[in-house]
Amino acid sequence: MRVRVLLAALLLAGTVGLTRAQDKPLERADLDKRVVSSVYEAALIGTDIFNKGDHGGCYRLYEGTLLGVVPLLDHRPRLQATAKTRLERARKMKIADAAFELRAALDEIQNEIAPPKDAPKKALWDRLGGEAAVKAVVHDFVLVAIDDPKVNFTRGKKIDAAALPALEKSLVELISQTTGGPLKYTGKDMKAAHKGMGITDAEFDALAADLVTVLKKYNVPKAETDELLKIVGSTRADIVEKATGKAPEKLSIKPLWDRLGGEPAVKAVVHDFVATAAADKKVNFTRNGKFKLDEKGVAHLEKTLVELISQTTGGPLKYSGKSMKESHKGMGITDAEFNALAADLVDTLKKYKVPQTEIDELVKIVDSTRPDIVEKN
């Protein structure tokens, strides 16, 4: 614990600048810059400490930083009061929850004083807190859902406690894969996993409500909550089974994979898309000749692209390649090159007369990979 307190002290020493008696008081703008620098460094170090399992160390670092920073916010009374409230609230919480509470206070200080301008948006996985945070949320979510009669989690059967760890692991993987994380989902597709369960819209809604409750418990911001719920909502059609009678038009929409024409159509599009992109100088497909592909290499690339499109559009094929971040690491791909690649994809889709609605939907999925592919200078 002394190490965490020392870290906080060092951060604060940089904030106040160790001013001497004869020094002039810092201007508010300069003071704000140092406060932001301090809370940013604390958040960065604290996240690493938390993800390594030292929740208490993370909490003490955040607490020490805030105790030093709060007196420097007298020119921002609302922000100062909010930080004090969170400090008091955190002292009554479990240590991991308390760390989340104080991290929220640090983020509020940074975002109010220095809101990001044109900053590249992190993947949702990272904004949710990464693997450690998602595991904690999933664990509590499963327990809440099991106890919720509106969800009917066990479908009238007894709960198999031994199966819960595997379920939680699959959910963490699924969230990772759909939010830009590094973990690959190894379970069944949503339709196969829930076939025959007779899950209703009301039960799906109750499950989503339980997720919101747990996300609020962990102080997940509304923007990230809404973004995750949108992803969850996209699985409704594969999870909810309608009784006899006409299903609502909204839920009768086929998965994007089927609307693109399935495997034969996607293979044809991918083949032409790769050829087009390889010839496009704006894309720099081979990275100035560093990543040349022979015939077998092109065939393998096309196969993994088809799998990736299948997995992200509701198709039956599972992606067998590396994560986006890992497979593009060190390539130095720019936003302009990413945009050129997307434009080549749009041109190829139009060549195959894919409707604009499906084009827009696929391009949105492609764009969600941007943070993992583009490397900023």
CA-CA distance, 109 to 105, in Å (whole number)?
6
Taking the chain, what is the end-to-end CA distance rounded to the nearest angstrom?
A: 36
* Cα→Cα distances 31→17, 45, 79, Å: 9, 21, 15
Binding-site positions read 328
Q: Scan for tokens 């975002």, then name that residue.
A: 111
Binding-site positions for heme read 328
* Cα→Cα distances 44→154, 168, 325, Å: 40, 27, 20
CB 211 within 8 A of CB 232: yes
Q: From its phi and psi, is residue 254 left (phi > 0), alpha (psi between -120 and 50) or beta?
A: beta
The distance of Cα 311 from the centroid of its chain, to the nearest Å, equals 17
CA-CA distance, 338 to 63, in Å (whole number)?
41
CA-CA distance, 48 to 226, in Å (whole number)?
26
Q: From its phi and psi, is residue 53 left (phi > 0), alpha (psi between -120 and 50) or beta?
A: left
DSSP string, 39-74: HHHHHHHHHHHHHTT-HHHHHHHHHHHHHHHGGGGT
